[in-house]
């Protein structure tokens, strides 16, 4: 298996809002859903998945283990609880959400690998890991078992050192907050390029990320935005456009919670 390049995110969406978002996404063609234990929306997503009528084998569902559950005693039971909420026997991908203090990285990575061997998840990976922690994860379970590292990545934060390392090691880059909470959509350059192609600024940014072979998981509560985001897959930017967008780098990190985030690679 390999991590799909385009899905829908559900961060900060709960209750009927997330349920409607997922139902709309599935109706317009999405088949990849990204959630996490800490989002508090797995049960609502599970309801949407059942109501949609989309066969389970057509879906690719990702969830993430929260730091409170990163131990031998808690990881697998917490994942089983996630499966109950999502109303499925397995997820396609399970990630460690944040490294936290990471002293027990070997313990929780091996517990995650055990979850895979039990059939609770088809693939495993990590999120918000720097190069040092990726190496520790490789040592714990083998590089071949790490499907992706999901990281904050946008035209304003391109994580070039980490991305280059992941490519060298054959690890898929999954970008979250690709639109930088919408900030990058206001950028004059992005607006100008969008005007040239007669598309939305979001489509331009997503097409840029896809051109770099990143997986993306943008979220939206609006059906029309879900549709237009999906259409970014058909948009081909020129090398000149890509270079111009690359020039927007400003180390614009927006998410780095104390006690959870690692020391980021320069």
Report the C-alpha gap between 97 and 152 in whole angstroms. Answer: 12
Catalytic pick among 39, 60, 108, 176 = 39
3-state per-residue secondary structure call for 231-266: HHHHCCCCHHHHHHHHCCCCCCCCCCCCCCCCCCCC
Check: CB of residue 66 under 8 Å from CB of residue 100.
no
- Determine whether 39 is an active site residue: yes
Check: CB of residue 157 under 8 Å from CB of residue 165.
no
Query: Is 97 a known ligand-binding residue?
Result: yes
State whether residue 105 is helix, strand or coil: helix
Q: What residues contact 174, with CB distance under 8 A and at least 6 apart? A: 3, 127, 148, 149, 150, 151, 214, 215, 216, 217
* Closest C-alpha to 206, from 177, 163, 183, 243: 177
Report the C-alpha gap between 205 and 39 in whole angstroms. Answer: 25
Q: Which residues are catalytic?
A: 39
| Annotated binding-site ranges | 97
Binding residue numbers for substrate? 97
């Amino acid at each position: 298996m390999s991590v799909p390049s385009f899905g829908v995110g559900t961060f900060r969406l709960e209750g009927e809002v997330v349920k409607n978002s997922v139902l709309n996404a599935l109706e317009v063609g999405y088949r990849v859903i990204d959630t996490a234990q800490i989002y508090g929306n797995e049960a609502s997503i599970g309801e949407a998945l059942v109501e949609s009528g989309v066969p389970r084998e057509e879906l690719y569902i990702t969830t993430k283990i929260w730091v409170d559950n990163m131990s031998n005693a808690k990881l697998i039971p917490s994942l089983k609880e996630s499966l109950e909420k999502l109303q499925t026997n397995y997820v396609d991908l399970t990630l460690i959400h944040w490294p936290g203090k990471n002293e027990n990285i070997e313990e929780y990575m091996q517990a995650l690998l055990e979850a895979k061997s039990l059939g609770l998840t088809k693939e495993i990976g990590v999120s918000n890991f720097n190069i040092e922690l990726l190496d520790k994860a490789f040592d714990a379970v083998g590089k071949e078992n790490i499907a992706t590292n999901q990281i904050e990545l946008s035209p304003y934060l391109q994580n070039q050192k980490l991305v280059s390392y992941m490519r060298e090691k054959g690890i898929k880059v999954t970008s979250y907050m690709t639109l930088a909470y919408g900030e990058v959509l206001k950028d004059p350059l992005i607006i100008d390029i969008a005007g040239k192609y007669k598309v939305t600024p979001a489509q331009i940014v997503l097409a840029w990320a896809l051109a770099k072979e990143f997986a993306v998981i943008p979220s939206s509560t609006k059906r029309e935005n879900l549709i237009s985001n999906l259409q970014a897959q058909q948009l081909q930017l020129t090398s000149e456009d890509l270079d111009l967008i690359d020039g927007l780098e400003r180390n614009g990190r927006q998410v780095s919670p104390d006690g959870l985030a690692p020391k980021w690679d320069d």
